[in-house]
Amino acid sequence: MFPFLPANDCLIDSHCHLDAAEFDGVRDDVVAEAIRQGIGQILVPAVNQATFAETLAMRERYGCWLAFGLHPIYLAQHLDEHLADLEHKLATDRPVAVGDIGLDFYLPALDPVRQEYLLVEQLKLARKYGLPVILHVRRSQDRLLKYLRQVPVVGGIAHAFNGSEQQAAAFLARGFKLGFGGAMTFRGSQRIRRLAATLPLSALVLETDAPDMRPEWAQAVPNRPANLLRFAEFLAELRTTTPEAIRTATHHNTLQALGLG
């Protein structure tokens, strides 16, 4: 269903949980609306072993890109044998990346030792299969960078980036792109806005993280991939350039981050 061709310069939603229950019953409409707004491809990352099949269904129905991973927020659901299930998926179902994986040091209930164990094991899998990674990084930039130095991977995307300029530079140096979306639409997000405005354009990819990370102008309803067009327009304003320039650059950057360009 997605009209994506590698030579196009369509908008790409580099992070969208299209399989989420919020879209049950309206998913076809959500996808059709996104396509009408010029979104030509969506990357759908799994968050736990139970969602591997659901993300796969998104590719079968809509032609989405997939990532398989064990997200730190769902830590309590991850069993050690899910790592073997993950490896089986990487070997047989050709995802574009390993994700969502990462570290969340914001939520106190998530045991950091267990998080770090699962992160390292998944980085090793990404390395083994030559795949980029989609990173969830919350209050954990420096620790994640430490593990990326220990287990280098080909690159990927630091999703919903919210670090410092120095941390941004460190991710870029390791072959990563930085994801920007709903957070930059908030007046209070001064640091994120400053990064979005001043980082080299080659560093940025666009994402909605739908149905989460609702933009300032639509707090009452689930976020949707169609909002990516407004995010592109918003980023163009921040950088005093055109939405077309943002579209072309972020398209290219997303392909590069995923090793598809």
Cis status, amide bond into 100, omega within 30 of 0? yes
100 binds Zn ion (CB under 5 A): yes
Query: CB of residue 244 vs Zn ion: minimum separation in angstroms?
Result: 27
User: What gap in Å lies between CA 27 and CA 58, rounded to an integer?
Assistant: 10
Nearer to Zn ion, 76 or 169 (CB): 76
Nearer to Zn ion, 87 or 100 (CB): 100
For residue 168, give the nearest of 142, 133, 150, 190 by alpha carbon.
142
# residues contacting Zn ion (CB under 5 A): 1
The residue to which tokens 């320039």 are assigned: 245
Query: CB of residue 2 vs Zn ion: minimum separation in angstroms?
Result: 19
Nearer to Zn ion, 100 or 104 (CB): 100
In sequence order, the 6+-apart residues with CB closer than 8 A to the CB of 200 are 172
Q: By CB under 5 A, which span of 92-100, 121-129, 165-173, 230-238 interacts with Zn ion?
A: 92-100
Our CA dihedral for 180, 236, 191, 189, rounded to 10 degrees, sits at -80
Nearer to Zn ion, 90 or 243 (CB): 90
104 binds Zn ion (CB under 5 A): no
In sequence order, the 6+-apart residues with CB closer than 8 A to the CB of 163 are 137, 141, 171
User: What gap in Å lies between CA 13 and CA 34, rounded to an integer?
Assistant: 9
Query: CB of residue 17 vs Zn ion: minimum separation in angstroms?
Result: 6
Q: By CB under 5 A, which span of 88-96, 100-108, 161-169, 244-252 interacts with Zn ion?
A: 100-108
Nearer to Zn ion, 68 or 243 (CB): 68
Residues that bind Zn ion (CB under 5 A): 100
